[in-house]
Each structure stands twice: as structure tokens, then as C-alpha cells.
Structure 1
Amino acid sequence: MLRQRNPRLGVTAALAGFVLLATACADGSATAGSSAGTPGASASSTSTQGRLAVSSPGSISVLDGTTLEVIETFDSEEFTRLNAAGDGRHVFVTTTSGFQLLDTAAPKLTDLTVDATAAGHVVRHAGNTVLYDDGTGTTIIMKTQDLANIKDVLPETSSYTAESPHHGVSIVLADGTLVTTLGDKTSRPGAVALEPHDDHWHSITESRECPGIHGEGPAMDEAVVFGCEDGALLYHDGEFQKFTAPDKYGRMGNAFVSESSPIVVGDYKNDPDAEGYLLNSVALIDTEKRSYNVVELPDTINYTFRDVARGPGDLAYILSTNGSIHVLDPQNGKIVNEFPVIKAWEGPTEWQDAHPSIAVNGDIAYVSEPAANTVHSADLTTGKILASKKMDSVPNEMAITTH
């Protein structure tokens, strides 16, 4: 079933004399420490296989992207999150000290850490890697290429600090515009776009029409979409636009994007009192047509925020509790294929709990199966299982590097 609501323009008030502070936020119930969607996933049809970082309780393993053999395992904290740095080699590990750099090529869990009191989202786009410290509300910006050439010290960074600390997310566009979410510890109403001026940031426009703002994703032509508790918020060509959900409560928390597609796939929840983390609908936002639709999936398809990725053909690949990857065409919301991969599973009690997840690199999907302590790889063009690896501990999060 498909339901549609017409978009309405959001507030676009320029703030003269905006202080040298930004705000950013997101709902920590799902994606604290990761950017929404598949990192850097412009859905190419090229099969590129590098390495795979996998977190487990107290450790992180680096696997060969083709054979899935474990190359090295490092001790770490009991619960860590993994975020590809965007340079094809490094992964940021969110720890209690900040963003610790993992070199998957060496491999080595380095001593290099970007200090943060509460390490949160990592966003890669337009040659920048942007980190967000929830504890201070600080956006930390570094050139991705500088990470690729790193030696013994971290690259130079620029930063922007929020008025109030909270769980946030920021993205830097190709022209240097910083788009970051607004909020404080009690509410998160929207986002602001800023441009750099000498030693400060100047506000271009803002919108406060996105309650509970969470997650972001850049679609084609740098159309950036954020999730709201009642729809979604678009920033494009210097303006914000609000899309209203068909339900009074219609929360989108994560944006799954391809930078070669104008359509954003968002997770969708319409019952604020529903227990657990399983979802059965998706939001489809067409940033060219400026349309917002909700698609109710077949009863056999239930997923969490870790179970959606973009891949070949700009399609969406949804790992369901029935153990299959279901292929969704964002153009029409139809399921066009199904690939059995793992055994059926149940949703997590807490979002941090290890449960099956999917990560995509080119034509290849990596799927974790915590109940079997196993990681699989599959060809998304054929559904063929390429490799499986039994781990010594329960796999939780995954991050892909390309070399």
C-alpha cells in the first residue's frame, strides 16, 4: 500500500548575526555513531572488495573482503560503533575517549583519537569527513584526502560548536556550506545551513519544522534529507522544504541514499508506543519531484535501522527477519526480488543488541548473522552466497573499506 502527502514549504528565515555556534541533533535510539544509510553508497555496479571491519563485544576484527578470513583482531571496548572514514582505508571507532582511528590496510588499531566526550555521527561527503561530538555539540571537519595520507598525527581540522550539546549530525556540501541540526538536550526542532566567513560561520537559512530530527543523507545533486517525527526535511539549493507524513506520528530516523539517485529511502514508524525496533514500512522521498510517499511492505518483511542499504541499480536492499534480502525499487515501491541468506531471526530488545545487519560495497553485500557467529557475503546481482566466516565472537556492527 502506498500513501502520499504533498510537501509544504518549511520556514526559511535567515538569522543575521548568528553567533559562532551551531546545533546538531538526532535521536540516539538508533544511530548514535553512524551516518544514516550506506556510507558513500553511490550504487555502482562495480564489484570492489577491500576489507571489512566487524565489531564484537570487547574486540574489532579486520576481515578480507573477498574470502572473509580474519586478518587481525584488536581488543576494544565492550560496545563500539564503526564508521568508514571515507578514504577507503580507515575506520573511525567510537569509544568513550572519542573517535579512534582503525587502519584496515596495515591493519592497526592506532593510538590516534579525535577527542570527543560522546562520539556520535560520522558523515562522508564531497571530500570531507565530518565528526559530531554529542557531548559538546561540536562539529569536527577534516579533509578526507588528509586521512588517506595520514602518518603519525591526525590531520588539521576546522570546527563549529553548537549552542547546546546534544546528539547531532552535520554535513559539509561541495561549496563549503555546513548543514547541521538544531536542538538541545530536551528538543530537536530542525536544521540550519551556514557558510564560512573568515573566522566565523554565517547563517544562510534555517527550518524549525522537523521535530525530533535524526539522521541525514545526500541524494543526487546534493539534495540532503533529514528525518523528522512527522515526515522529512529537505535542504537543496539554499532552501529548506518540509514533507509531512500521512500519519500524525510518522517518524523517519535514517536516510538510505545513493548519490546517483534523487530518491531517498527512509525507515518509517507510525506508532510511537510500539515495542521493539522492527519496522514494516519505508518512506520514499523523491528530491526531484518533491514528493513523499509511504510504502507498507509485505508482512514477511520486517527490518531494523541496520537492515537497509542501497546497492546496484540504485535499488534498496532490505534484510528481513525471514532471513532474506528483499530488493525494493524506489521508483515505484515494489519488491522486485528476494535472496535467502541467513536463518530467520527476531528483533533486538535494545537497539545496541547484536542483530543481523547489511553493508554494501558495489555489487557485494555483507550480512552478519549473530545467532550463528557468522558473517556472509553475497552477490546482489544473482543472490549467490560468495563466502561465509564463522567468528570467534558475536558480530555486531560492520564497516567497509575499499583497499
Structure 2
Amino acid sequence: MHHPSTNRRALMATTSAVAGVLALLSGCGTTAQAGSSSTAVPTADTTPSSSAASPSPSSAATTAQSAGDRLTLTYDGGILVLDADTLGTVADLPLDGFNRLNSADDGEHVYVTTEGGFRVLATGARGGEAALTDLTFPATTPGHVVRHAGTTALFDDGTGRIQLFPTDALVDGGGTVAALPETRDVESAEAHHGVAVELADGTLLATLGNSETRTGVRALDAAGKEVSRFEQCPSVHGEGVVEGEAVVFGCQDGLLVYSGGSFTKLDSPDEFGRIGNAYVTDDSPVAVVDYKDDPDAEGVELTHLALADTSNTAAGLDVLDLPNGVAYTWRGVGRDSNDDAWILGTDGALHRLDVAAGKLAESYPVIEAWRGPAEWQTAHPALVVDDDIAYVTEPATNSVHRVDLGTGQVLGTVELDVTPKEVALVS
């Protein structure tokens, strides 16, 4: 087992870059907006808005649209499908309950974790009509959805069952298939809040645990035989696959890395250093992970991130402190086409983390300062990054903003009739 360095570095913003962005945006109108989600932070002076007219959401259930990227959003009572370029409403689909969204990664669908399982939402990205289909992968308590190497893994927390199928199985000639594809099912020893991912060679990595505790990860070969396991990863949660198919899993006391057929644990430099979510790309060996060092902290705000270079696990975890007054939540981190990370801070700004250098670079003000909720299910700002474009939700104003990450310019803003919660992009 390798032990990490205990280096903790503060992230310092580049003042000149921020000043340049403020100058760029000074010609845009500003809107006073109330905050929502995370710890006490200073309030931003202004919030830039797009100079172009914002599209008005349609009240119709479905409107005729051409093919294109789609942004899907949940709200209390339904799901909105937006055109990702114009932010115009493509569909408003009623659905009761607390629902979560995961892109199917097939250029068309979103999985809606809802009562009964993983329900398939067709977004119309390929030119068809946006609709909630009758196709539902059954699950008593639908949980994590993982897509990798052409295979999708659905995890049922209520039974521990893992359903595996080809990621593109729902699209046939550009449309949605009429029936669910056949799945390969793998059972966990006990039901738990878990996750699984299948690698290109057929190796399946799946978490271990039960309803009371989660302990680690096991590896099964392509024939379904267990070949190894690691059980010193308490409260294992989340996963991420980085360059070279190294896989990371969060632990209550560090990060578990699976690479080259073996497990390596990177211990947290703090006695309690919980990692729950990983933000990764296929082209970088560095995993950006959330980091919580106070077991008694209330709410969902976090003020630290950590970096783990899976190509050099001997270097351990590098924990980074955000600037004073800036926090984030699990909904507020994304990676861009340059493999850098963007953090949606409670100060209302997007902060770029230069992953290679391990330090914060420029910051772009986008929304008003906000506070994190006590419960994770409560609506609060969310971030989705797609190449050099970011989508930022602002529940306090029922708004969605489209931002150019190269300049910080807000390219478009739409004010909705509902409060956005979960968000997923189909591109």
C-alpha cells in the first residue's frame, strides 16, 4: 500500500484574469438574484446576462425541433427537455416523485431513476420526438448508472443486482427501440448502495457491502469468476475511469485505485478524509475528487478538492483548499476538453482548476452567491460541462445559463416557469 504525501495547497485565483473577464462582461445587463445552496459566502456584486434575447420556454408538452444537443432538467412534477444551443423548450413531461437523471451516452436517451426502475427518456436529439417511453429497466431502488467501453451498468441498491447491456442498444437506425435489450445480470452478495463498471477486457468491478456498511470492491473476470478484492475502503462510493482504464473509487479515508489488475489504496492525509465523487476524463490520468475532512460538518457544502495521479500512485493524494468564502457541492464540478476542472462556487463564479499545475486559474462570475442546502435532494445550483461550454442552473431565479468557458461570456439565459433540480446533457 502506498502512502500519500501530506501536502495541502491553497488555490489562489488569478486576479488579472478575473479583472479581464469583468471588463469583458461590463457591457452586459445585470440582474439582482437571490442565492440558494452551500455555506455562508460573500455576495457577488453583479450577475452577467446574455446580450441576446433569451428564448421563452414553451408551455406545450412537445414542440417540433430539429436534431441537436439536449439539456434535460428535473423539477417538482416533471422533466424539461431543452435545446442545448438555444435553451428553448423541446418538451415538458409530467412525472411525479423525486427523479434523477443520467445520460445514456448514446446521443439520444436519458435514464430517469424513478419509481420502478430506470425509465428511458427519448430526448429527440437525433431528430425524433422527445418523450418518456414505456421502457423501464426494473429496479426496486435504482441507483448508479455507469457507461464505459461500450457497456452500461445499472445498479439496483435494493437488491444488489447489476444489469449489463451494450450502451447503444436503445438506438436502432437513429430511433428508439420498441423493447428493452437483453441484459446480463450479476448479483451482489448483499444489497447495498453500490456501483459497478465493466472494463474493455470484460473485467467487472463491483462494490462490496450491505445495508449497514460498505467495505470495498471486487473484480470479476469476463467469465464471472472473482479474481481479486479489496476490503479496506470504508463507505466506498462512486467511481471514475481515467486514462489507461485505471478506475478510482472513493473511500471514507482515501481513494482506491484499480489498475493493471491490482488495487492500490491512497490514504487521506487527514484521519477523516472522505471522497465520494470523482470527476474524470479518458485523456487524463489525474482524477479530481471531492474531499471532506470534517465528519461533523452539516449540509452538503465542501471547501476542499483532491487530485490523484493514477500514473504515479506513490505521490498519493494532493488536497487543495478553495479560497476563503468559496465552497461547492457534488453538483458543481466538471471537466472540459483540455482536461481542466471547473468548480461552481458558492460565490456564484466558475473557477478553473488547472489540473496539470494543481492550482486555480481564472474565475468567471455567472450567478448570484448562494447557500448550500441541508439536504442533498434540495434544489441548488448545478454545473454541466461539455467541451468548452458550461451549463449552470440557478434555482433561486429558475434560470439556466449557457457559458463560453474560453471567455466567460454568458451566451444565453432562459428563465423557466419551474425550479430546476437534476440536470443531464445529451450530445
TM-score (norm. length: structure 1)? 0.87
- For residue 159 of structure 1, what is the aligned residue in structure 2? 185
Aligned-partner residue type, residue 74 of structure 1: L
Change (3 A) 1:111 1:283: same
- For residue 78 of structure 1, what is the aligned residue in structure 2? 97
- For residue 243 of structure 2, what is the aligned residue in structure 1? 220
- For residue 380 of structure 1, what is the aligned residue in structure 2? 405
- For residue 352 of structure 1, what is the aligned residue in structure 2? 377
Deviations 1:178-199 (A, max 9, x none): 00111111111110010132xx
- For residue 85 of structure 2, what is the aligned residue in structure 1? 66
Secondary structure of the structure 2 residue equivalent to 1:253:
coil
- What is the Cα deviation at residue 330 of structure 1? 1.7
- For residue 354 of structure 2, what is the aligned residue in structure 1? 329
Alignment gaps of 5+ in structure 1: 7-47
Deviations 1:10-42 (A, max 9, x none): xxxxxxxxxxxxxxxxxxxxxxxxxxxxxxxxx
1:308-327 matches, within 5 Å, as: 308-327=333-352
- For residue 362 of structure 1, what is the aligned residue in structure 2? 387
- What is the Cα deviation at residue 79 of structure 1? 1.2
Count of residues in correspondence between the two structures: 356
1:29-178 matches, within 5 Å, as: 50-105=69-124, 106-149=129-172, 150-178=176-204
- What is the Cα deviation at residue 97 of structure 1? 0.8
Deviations 1:109-150 (A, max 9, x none): 101000100000001110011110000001111101212224
- The structure having more radius of gyration, on CA atoms, is 2
Deviations 1:229-255 (A, max 9, x none): 000000011000000000000000000
Secondary structure of the structure 2 residue equivalent to 1:60:
strand
Q: Do the aligned residues in 1 keep the contact of 2:278 with 2:289 (CA within 8 Å)?
A: yes
Q: Do the aligned residues in 2 keep the contact of 1:83 with 1:93 (CA within 8 Å)?
A: yes
Q: Do the aligned residues in 1 keep the contact of 2:80 with 2:91 (CA within 8 Å)?
A: yes
Q: Do the aligned residues in 1 keep the contact of 2:201 with 2:222 (CA within 8 Å)?
A: no
Tell me how far apart the structure 1 counterparts of residues 203 and 290 of structure 2 sit (CA, whole Å).
26
Does 1:399 pair with 2:402? Answer: no
Q: Do the aligned residues in 2 keep the contact of 1:312 with 1:380 (CA within 8 Å)?
A: no
Tell me how far apart the structure 2 counterparts of residues 4 and 378 of structure 1 sit (CA, whole Å).
36
Tell me how far apart the structure 2 counterparts of residues 64 and 78 of structure 1 sit (CA, whole Å).
24
- What is the Cα deviation at residue 77 of structure 1? 2.0
- What is the Cα deviation at residue 329 of structure 1? 1.2
Deviations 1:50-103 (A, max 9, x none): 110010011101000101011110011231000001101100000011000000
Aligned-partner residue type, residue 238 of structure 2: G
- For residue 45 of structure 1, what is the aligned residue in structure 2? none
Tell me how far apart the structure 1 counterparts of residues 326 and 256 of structure 2 sit (CA, whole Å).
26
TM-score (norm. length: structure 2)? 0.82
- What is the Cα deviation at residue 382 of structure 1? 1.2
Secondary structure of the structure 2 residue equivalent to 1:101:
strand
- What is the Cα deviation at residue 277 of structure 1? 1.0
Secondary structure of the structure 1 residue equivalent to 2:214:
coil
1:269-348 matches, within 5 Å, as: 269-290=292-313, 291=315, 292-348=317-373
Aligned-partner residue type, residue 189 of structure 1: T
Aligned-partner residue type, residue 92 of structure 1: Y
Tell me how far apart the structure 2 counterparts of residues 391 and 255 of structure 1 sit (CA, whole Å).
30
Aligned-partner residue type, residue 222 of structure 2: P
Q: Do the aligned residues in 2 keep the contact of 1:94 with 1:100 (CA within 8 Å)?
A: yes
Alignment gaps of 5+ in structure 2: 8-66
- For residue 260 of structure 2, what is the aligned residue in structure 1? 237
Tell me how far apart the structure 1 counterparts of residues 121 and 180 of structure 2 sit (CA, whole Å).
12
Tell me how far apart the structure 1 counterparts of residues 103 and 109 of structure 2 sit (CA, whole Å).
6
- For residue 204 of structure 1, what is the aligned residue in structure 2? 227
- What is the Cα deviation at residue 356 of structure 1? 0.2
- What is the Cα deviation at residue 317 of structure 1? 0.3
Tell me how far apart the structure 1 counterparts of residues 5 and 72 of structure 2 sit (CA, whole Å).
39
Tell me how far apart the structure 2 counterparts of residues 386 and 300 of structure 1 sit (CA, whole Å).
27
- For residue 21 of structure 2, what is the aligned residue in structure 1? none
Q: Do the aligned residues in 2 keep the contact of 1:49 with 1:65 (CA within 8 Å)?
A: yes
Tell me how far apart the structure 1 counterparts of residues 407 and 219 of structure 2 sit (CA, whole Å).
42
Aligned-partner residue type, residue 196 of structure 1: A
Q: Do the aligned residues in 2 keep the contact of 1:300 with 1:320 (CA within 8 Å)?
A: no
Aligned-partner residue type, residue 221 of structure 2: E
- What is the Cα deviation at residue 49 of structure 1? 6.3
- What is the Cα deviation at residue 5 of structure 1? 4.4
Q: Do the aligned residues in 1 keep the contact of 2:97 with 2:114 (CA within 8 Å)?
A: no
Does 1:4 pair with 2:5? Answer: yes
- For residue 194 of structure 1, what is the aligned residue in structure 2? 220
**Two-structure CA RMSD over aligned residues (Å):** 1.3
Q: Do the aligned residues in 2 keep the contact of 1:5 with 1:244 (CA within 8 Å)?
A: no
Change (3 A) 1:49 1:261: farther
Aligned-partner residue type, residue 162 of structure 1: S
Residue 272 of structure 2, aligned match among 226, 231, 249: 249
Q: Do the aligned residues in 1 keep the contact of 2:171 with 2:177 (CA within 8 Å)?
A: no
Residue identity over aligned pairs, in percent, reads 47
- For residue 181 of structure 1, what is the aligned residue in structure 2? 207
Deviations 1:355-398 (A, max 9, x none): 00101112111110000001111011111111111111100011
